Amino acid sequence: MSGGPDDLARKVLQPGQCAGCGLCLDLCPYLQVVEEKVVMIHPCGLKEGDCYRVCPRTPTDWEDMDRSVFGAARADHVLGHHREILFARATAPEIAAAGQYGGVVSALIAFALGRGEVRGAVLTAGAPGEMPRPALAENPEEALACAGSKYSAAPSLRALHEAARRGLEPVAVVGRPCQVLAVRKLQRARGLEAHHLAGRKVAWVTGLFCFWALDPAFYAFLRAKTGDARILRVDFSPDSLLVHTDRGLLSEPVDKVRGFVRPACRECFDPTSEFADVAVGSTEYDEAWNTLVVRSERGEALLRAAREAGVIEVKPYPPERLPLLRTAVLNKKLRTLEAQAARGESSHLQLSEGYRRALTGRDQP
């Protein structure tokens, strides 16, 4: 489905549905970002635009995307395509220590950069508790400097433009699920070669699990709570915000931050990066390990090479935990279907009735 900047403004930006992925920025001088809010500073008047085509919040045929990324329809309507679901962690102590959990993301990126399989990696940099920024890492040390989750919607895909401008290719991308989808839309958009960007220069995409990102006002909230203390790490357990500082651990009920959740995230259908080559999340109970979902052949090949090189170790995903993951993801999808049904024609999700039935077990959400 095609559209232009006016449609983007009307359907995505004005109703607060922008995911803040950052891909449209630098495609057009009229799109700017201020504190993680994308704004259109002038209507360009085009009827069709690349900004609309690559946006993860413009209409997206989910099943078509499955076919174009994985070459087949999905068998698992909750978790998407997956070849394996594992627990995994980085073996190098310095990566495991720097990583948010097991450091799998940083280890894979550092490994790929170190072996010269990619020349750059699109990442997200920033000190814990401060507004993050897009980063383009060119070596393992720079990748490691980006370790750690920053819980707001950094427009990190801007770094993809920087890579293209500098002729740095191929690149790896690490992103939230919305960013993964934006990259996939870019990869299949025809005619974008006119721009300096071309999605085929992306060698592989590592997606994060992400149930929501927070508005940057969260950082002011954090600062008010921590005062002069230096923030060392920010984390979330299912019930709490956990802030590690040089003066000790501060904990707040997670309900205190729910008000900062970005409105667009309340209508996100994909908390586990379904279109990534590999998707990485927490285990929800052992912070030394990650959940690792191997989705594509490319992802499988990357993991195999990383395991053979001794960079990553894995163990089986505990079968008793799988229903917990499935339920959390399904509930998120059902909440989104309800919210999108209320939104009506401006819904970005295009799902067949068969797909909805497979997910919900009934005809309508």
Residues that bind ligand FAD (CB under 6 A): 99-106, 123-124, 132, 146-152, 154, 156, 174-176, 208-211, 213, 280-282, 290
Closest among 25, 267, 287, 270 to 159, alpha carbons compared:
25
Name the residue nearer to ligand FAD (CB basis): 127 or 220: 127
Name the residue nearer to ligand FAD (CB basis): 296 or 347: 296
Closest among 147, 168, 185 to 19, alpha carbons compared:
185
Cα→Cα distances 192→51, 203, 215, 292, Å: 10, 17, 31, 32
Distance from C-alpha of 307 to C-alpha of 329, rounded to nearest angstrom: 28
Distance from C-alpha of 4 to C-alpha of 14, rounded to nearest angstrom: 14
CB of 353 to ligand FAD, least distance (A): 29
Name the residue nearer to ligand FAD (CB basis): 149 or 347: 149
CB of 211 to ligand FAD, least distance (A): 4
Cα→Cα distances 118→53, 111, 204, 228, 295, Å: 26, 10, 9, 40, 20
CB of 125 to ligand FAD, least distance (A): 7
Name the residue nearer to ligand FAD (CB basis): 9 or 180: 180
Residue nearest to ligand FAD (CB): 281
CB of 136 to ligand FAD, least distance (A): 11
Q: Is the dihedral of CA 101, 107, 113, 117 positive or negative?
A: negative
Contact (Cβ atoms closer than 8 angstroms) between residue 173 and residue 41:
no
Name the residue nearer to ligand FAD (CB basis): 62 or 260: 260
Closest among 254, 259, 221, 249 to 238, alpha carbons compared:
254
Name the residue nearer to ligand FAD (CB basis): 9 or 121: 121
CB of 240 to ligand FAD, least distance (A): 13
CB of 55 to ligand FAD, least distance (A): 17
